[in-house]
């Protein structure tokens, strides 16, 4: 994504991001043109796809010509035990997931320099890129995308996994324009319903108020529901609700629930009503994922049968 996720009390994510990036490029040598796994399979490296907080992504082709995305993490950057544990946790959680709207984990291997996480390729970029190209999406399109995203989150939550970093930049398109949730770097397992998590993490614009509520508040599944509200607002109005230049201002606005809908917008009352329900400060009062799907907005207008790649650059004529 654009902004790097923050973990425990980082106040200047942008500066940190820059530093991290410099470190990353120093550590992460481009993988060799052929990577051999221990079991003898060979993968041929293709073009660079993108980079995030601590990984770089390349296309990789197997011997049969099938293309994957390989998330590569330099071993030099995971010397520290905590970072190693985090990467292993990401792999363990992601590996156990299988759903049509979650980036499929394929394999994991290493060579001298890197750890490789082989994933289903999503060649049509992310929802963030789509929004950048299009500025805003139509309500039918957002309905279509929301159903897929919520379906995937329901699957995660049924398996007691909270993603904790849901944002437009972590939701990718497959070749058929289906959405796929990716990046399990901040995901965690909630061991029992009343067990909360206390690490401050997420990406500034998407952080739920209870995550900012101090050390003793704790958070759980509802942070992913909050992120759904932020994404819906961003897709329909072109920017996330609590947007500001200064991260501290974003946090203050989130805590005070200070946001509005742009005056000039023609987005329906039903959509505004749903966003208002979801962006509820008290996590216990937030709707469940099923309640969101039952909201009248989903019935309040057309629902596209499919979305085509043309939508990446221009508004579909019928919506």
Three-state SS at 192: coil
From the CB of 104, what's the least distance to ligand ADP, in Å? 9
Q: Number of residues in contact with ligand ADP, rule: CB under 6 A?
A: 19
14 as an active site residue: the answer is no
Q: Which of 202, 210, 118 is nearest to 163 (CA)?
A: 202
From the CB of 309, what's the least distance to ligand ADP, in Å? 15
Position with the least CB separation from ligand ADP: 52
Q: Which of 235, 285, 245, 304 is nearest to 265 (CA)?
A: 235
From the CB of 7, what's the least distance to ligand ADP, in Å? 12
Applying CB under 6 A, does 52 fall inside the site for ligand ADP?
A: yes
Site string for ligand ADP, 76-115 (x = CB under 6 A): ---------------------------x------------
Crossing angle of helices 222-237 and 139-158, in 10° steps, is 170
Tokens in use for 123?
């060649």
**Residue 75 is assigned to a ligand binding site:** yes
Distance, CA of 240 to CA of 223 (rounded, Å): 16
Distance, CA of 63 to CA of 76 (rounded, Å): 28
Distance, CA of 287 to CA of 293 (rounded, Å): 10
Applying CB under 6 A, does 182 fall inside the site for ligand ADP?
A: yes
User: Which of 6, 55, 181, 211: binder of ligand ADP (CB under 6 A)?
Assistant: 55
Give the distance, in angstroms, between the CA of residue 256 and the centroid of all CA atoms in the same chain.
24
Closer to ligand ADP by Cβ: residue 2 or 217: 2
Q: Which residues bind ligand ADP (CB under 6 A)?
A: 49-55, 57, 69, 71, 103, 119-122, 172, 182-183, 185
List active site positions: 165
Task: Output the known binding site for ATP.
Answer: 75
């Amino acid at each position: 994504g654009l902004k790097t996720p923050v973990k425990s009390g980082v106040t200047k994510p942008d500066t940190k991001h820059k530093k991290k990036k410099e470190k990353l490029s120093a550590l992460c040598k481009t993988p060799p043109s052929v990577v051999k796994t221990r079991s003898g399979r060979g993968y041929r490296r293709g073009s660079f796809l993108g980079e995030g907080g601590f990984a770089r992504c390349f296309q990789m082709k197997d011997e049969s010509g099938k293309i994957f995305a390989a998330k590569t993490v330099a071993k030099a950057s995971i010397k520290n035990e905590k970072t190693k544990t985090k990467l292993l946790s990401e792999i363990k959680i992601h590996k156990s997931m299988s759903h049509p709207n979650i980036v499929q984990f394929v394999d994991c291997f290493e060579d001298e320099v890197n750890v490789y996480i082989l994933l289903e390729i999503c060649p049509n970029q992310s929802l963030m890129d789509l929004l950048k190209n299009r500025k805003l999406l139509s309500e039918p399109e957002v309905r279509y995308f929301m159903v897929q995203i919520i379906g995937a989150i329901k699957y995660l939550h049924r398996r007691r996994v909270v993603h904790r970093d849901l944002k437009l930049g972590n939701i990718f398109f497959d070749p058929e324009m289906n959405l796929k949730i990716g990046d399990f770097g901040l995901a965690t397992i909630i061991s029992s319903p009343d067990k909360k998590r206390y690490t401050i993490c997420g990406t500034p614009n998407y952080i739920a108020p209870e995550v900012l509520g101090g050390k003793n508040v704790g958070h759980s599944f509802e942070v992913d529901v909050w992120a759904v509200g932020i994404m819906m607002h961003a897709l329909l109005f072109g920017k996330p609700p609590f947007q500001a230049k200064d991260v501290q201002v974003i946090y203050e606005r989130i805590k005070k629930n200070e946001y509005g809908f742009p005056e000039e917008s023609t987005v329906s009352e039903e959509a505004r009503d749903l966003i208002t329900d979801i962006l509820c400060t008290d996590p216990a009062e937030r709707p469940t994922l099923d309640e969101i799907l039952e909201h009248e907005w989903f019935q309040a207008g057309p629902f596209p049968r499919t979305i085509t790649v043309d939508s990446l650059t221009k508004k579909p004529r019928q919506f």
